[in-house]
Amino acid sequence: MRSIFTATCLSLAMFSTGSVIAADTAKVATTEEATKLIQDKGYICLTCHQVDTKVLGPAYKEVAEKYKGADEATVARLMKQAKEGKAADLVWGQVPMPPNPTLTDEDAATIVHWILSLAAADAKGAEVKK
């Protein structure tokens, strides 16, 4: 019985570590890939958001700066908001974010990780300009 428990614990540890490693080494979509995904799948993201400019919702670079260094729980929350929408608030404005009911988990992850990568891209650009 003890060996079954130990084997189960080791398996869980191995799988959880593997998923963290996979998430860290996964290729982040480029802006072109992400916008093509959004447009090809008919997601409504670009109706209210642009990379550099606030439209109805915040610019993606603003979102990236706010959540720079986000942990996995925050990433999961952002993915959920992208799918289910978000009520208006004092942080981003008085317009609620509508739900994207056809947004898949995989596409939500791709889009959220791309948005968050924009903060790193800005930092690299700033370093080059110095």
Residue 49 assigned as binding residue:
yes
Cβ-Cβ contacts under 8 Å for 95 (sequence gap 6 or more): 48, 56, 57, 88
Name the burial class of residue 129, with classes exposed (0-12), middle (13-18) and buried (19+) by CB atoms within 10 angstroms of its CB: exposed
Residue 113 assigned as binding residue:
no
Residue 48 assigned as binding residue:
no
CA angle 112, 59, 63 (to 5 degrees): 45
Q: Which residues are annotated as a binding site for heme c?
A: 45, 49, 97
Q: Which residues are annotated as a binding site?
A: 45, 49, 97
